Chain A
């Protein structure tokens, strides 16, 4: 048994975000972080490793510097890293990305008792699509929005979060689970982990490695192979600054309510 975790290095959109004049993101000037929901997926994997002693392998697709992120995860306890990287993969949308990552995972091998954990969604695109699409390409059952996971023999019982409650879903391995932040509290790197992380195995899968896999077809990967394309990108309009009222006393609030009443807003 092993556990596979899919992770993504993303620009930190919680701080200042720099936009180029042409409306694209100025990635060079931004910090990168491990996608927050993916940290919950990593923690879910490490929790099971603590209980069962199984191997945890982290998969990511990205440019070569993403290796640094994989080393950080190894310092948390992940045993092995796979970096899928190649110019041919650049510009992929969720469909194309899922094909490439699924080809990588399939090349590595998925056994009958394996589990794949993904984060619910990444903060750069917020699509939540790649997890389910990897599951589809690997013909595995999926349970998304996992808020609690229990093992029951060879199956998992997942509390699948809904807007108005939850479902309890039983699923057999192998399967793919996407994790929400309520699932757990990700652990920190340990000093020993940091010492060991650079001696743990890291494999790079390039286009050459994967090109003979049935899912890798030049017409369905990368920018050109992606079913969706960006038609226009732009920044939202800046709303004009309204009226700043003087003072903070009762006469100020009276004045505000007076304006709103006169305009029939309240």
Chain B
């Protein structure tokens, strides 16, 4: 590169980029959520939205990104990019950022995004905010978000800053301290402003066939050799068991420690209720830690963030870490023996009782209601 890259020359950076994560040639669904969110940010800034897609022969999945709002996709194909490696992906992303200079760069907070993004940020000398749950450029939009999304008295809060332009800098909001606090982070002095975004939080927009056809696919020249990659991927193994799709589910029936007296029976009841509603079974962390259900069922700060139409919490006390993953569900129903359980504080409907008594009755009631329709 002729000139020295300077991340502090903020005026030289333009456009919103999304790192488009694919595995085995298949786009990760979080990518589409990020493209939809990136479109919103690009519109607020009045700039273009670009995807950056790395893989081996992945042109075929680039068009789809246009359908969700990307104006352009930079595609980097190489056998060395077939499987994710920190070294190869960091080099290509960093070289691309240094050459083309986006002002915002988003990654999904997957186990890969959270490996790649920090490495890139460290090499680019810029800031990275982890695991964001809300993003804003426009200040008015941010204030409106806080009106319902925080306990702040927004009308008596000063949003101005002497240090930076509050209306053009990306405001990245994320939970901290296990969800007890929320913080909005800015990266005013360096570019790109980088964030990893929690999967399942941003809403995927509508797909537009015409835009998918119109998207511009670009293949920049890039350098990558075997010597750049210090690790070797020996094997990629998919989990044999089909994992539960909590994020896409409209109905989630979750179990907690309350099933302890009859674990198998409790899980069976939850499965029956979920089947009756056309939903899936989730769980609290305690259930996964005890080995009663596998980790893919876990809802909460260290598990998945979900917002189904209905979330039914059975025998879950409602630790803040669990609430952090489900409190934005449209309707929350809690069944718990302890009428002081914190889960009732956020439940729309609560029943104080033994789940082993209540759930069979609830299943009967749902069946009867369906039969009556």
Contacts and interface: CB of A to CB of B under 8 A. Distances in A.
Contact of A231 (B151, B184, B239, B365): B184
Contacts of B180: 13, 17, 19, 25, 235
Interface string A145-172: 1000000000001001111111111111
A254 B183 CA distance: 42
A171 B111 contact: no
B58 interface: no
Given A132-B86, A232-B184, A253 B364 contact: yes
A227 B349 contact: no
Nearest to B128: A129
B182 interface: yes
A241 B340 CA distance: 12
Contacts of B232: 169-171
B352 A244 contact: yes
A248 B301 contact: no
A33 B332 CA distance: 33
B330 A232 contact: no
Nearest to B364: A250
B19 to A, nearest CB: 15
B127 A228 contact: yes
B300 to A, nearest CB: 12
A9 interface: no
Given A227-B127, A227-B187, A239-B345, A266 B366 contact: yes
Nearest to A24: B181
Contact of A135 (B119, B130, B234): B119
Interface residues of B, number: 101
A235 B90 CA distance: 35
Given A133-B118, A141-B86, 20 more contacts: A23-B181, A25-B177, A126-B301, A131-B118, A137-B122, A163-B296, A167-B233, A168-B237, A169-B85, A169-B233, A231-B184, A232-B184, A236-B150, A237-B148, A241-B345, A249-B361, A252-B351, A256-B349, A256-B365, A261-B369
Interface string A171-195: 1100100000000000000000000
B110 interface: yes
Contacts of B321: 13-14
Contacts of B187: 227-229
A132 B122 contact: yes
Contact of B236 (A17, A19, A165, A266): A165
Nearest to A141: B230
B interface, over-half SS: mixed
Given A164-B239, A266-B366, A13 B345 contact: no
B310 A163 contact: no
B366 A234 contact: no
Given A143-B231, A164-B23, A238-B151, A257 B362 contact: yes
A265 B310 contact: yes
B257 interface: no
B369 A257 contact: yes
A117 interface: no
A260 interface: yes
Interface stretch (A57-65, A91-99, A196-204): A91-99
A162 B332 CA distance: 30
Interface string B319-359: 11100100100111100000100001111111111100110
B184 A233 contact: yes
Contacts of A250: 361, 364-365
Interface string B235-278: 11111000100000001000000000000000000000000010
B348 A242 contact: yes
B128 A239 contact: no
Contact of A141 (B87, B146, B238, B310): B87
Contacts of B212: none
Nearest to A131: B118
Contacts of A162: 23, 110-112
A136 B234 contact: no
A242 B111 contact: no
B112 A257 contact: no
Nearest to A140: B230
Closest 3 interchain pairs by CB? A248-B353, A227-B127, A228-B127
A175 B127 CA distance: 24
B125 A253 contact: no
Contacts of A129: 114, 117-118, 121, 128, 130
A127 B171 CA distance: 17
Nearest to A160: B111
A25 B176 CA distance: 10
A170 B234 contact: yes
A126 B131 contact: yes
